[in-house]
């Protein structure tokens, strides 16, 4: 199996970055040089250094050794909307060249690159590029982060079907307990264990830090 990974989510706001950070820490804990990457990010803040996205900053902070921000997030967009809308609004071109260049630089330096997508599986990045094309283009197995909340079973099954239908390998999934008071939460997780066509890599408790969450992940299915 390829060493680099793509982290997808069942939706936006379900803890995709948290899952990606946990994976970065988990591989670091077994002695690897690991970097997180967010190729395209909308919802970025203006700083003295330029646009900075918090998810990308979190991935940069989790990585070791620390990479340049421009490689972690080669395309930052300001508006907190779908990337294709933010890019159109800001007159930004979304092309493969800077994304490919950043990934090649990171994959040549680190043992493993954990690439986080945007929102759900099929988010448009421009009029011609869509998020699911990233793992296809770079040959990345996919880890799906499932936000455990009402509706998650259908969202997870549909996303898993789309991942496989697009010709990508679904290598595993992570349950992220985003709603601690959800009714029958554990039963929902067990249902997903039975129905998803990939192993569960771990169940991440509500608001557990990424380095602690890393210790709950089973990396064996990822090679």
State pLDDT tens for residues 139-159.
999 999 999 999 999 999 999
Q: 223: pLDDT confidence band, cut at 50, 70 and 90?
A: confident
Question: Cα(65)–Cα(59) distance, rounded to whole angstroms?
Answer: 12
Query: How many separate domains does the chain show?
Result: 1
pTM exceeds 0.75 for this model:
yes
Residue 15, domain CATH: 3.40.50.300
Q: What is the pLDDT of residues 80-97, one digit of tens each?
A: 999 999 999 999 999 999
* Catalytic-labelled residue, pool 18, 28, 38, 155: 38
User: Which pLDDT value is given to residue 109?
Assistant: 96
Active site residue 38: yes
Inter-axis angle of helices 185-195 and 152-165, nearest 10: 20
* Boundaries of domain holding 31: 5-222
């Amino acid at each position: 199996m390829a060493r680099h990974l793509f982290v997808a989510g069942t939706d936006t706001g379900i803890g995709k970055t948290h899952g990606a950070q946990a994976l970065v820490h988990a591989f670091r804990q077994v002695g690897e040089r690991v970097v997180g990457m967010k190729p395209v990010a909308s919802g970025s803040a203006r700083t003295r250094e330029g646009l900075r996205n918090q998810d990308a900053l979190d991935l940069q902070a989790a990585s070791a050794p620390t990479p340049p921000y421009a490689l972690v997030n080669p395309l930052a967009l300001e508006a907190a909307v779908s990337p294709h809308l933010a890019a159109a609004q800001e007159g930004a071109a979304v092309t493969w060249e800077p994304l490919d260049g950043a990934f090649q630089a990171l994959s040549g330096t680190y043992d493993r690159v954990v690439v986080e997508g945007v929102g759900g599986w099929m988010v448009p990045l421009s009029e011609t590029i869509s998020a699911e094309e990233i793992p296809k283009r770079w040959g990345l197995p996919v880890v799906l982060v499932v936000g455990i909340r009402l509706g998650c079973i259908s969202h997870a099954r549909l996303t898993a079907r789309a991942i496989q239908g697009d010709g990508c390998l679904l290598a595993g999934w992570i349950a992220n307990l985003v709603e601690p008071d959800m009714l029958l939460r554990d039963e929902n997780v067990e249902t997903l264990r039975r129905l998803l066509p990939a192993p569960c890599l771990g169940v991440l408790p509500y608001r557990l830090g990424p380095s602690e969450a890393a210790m709950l992940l089973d990396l064996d299915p990822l090679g």
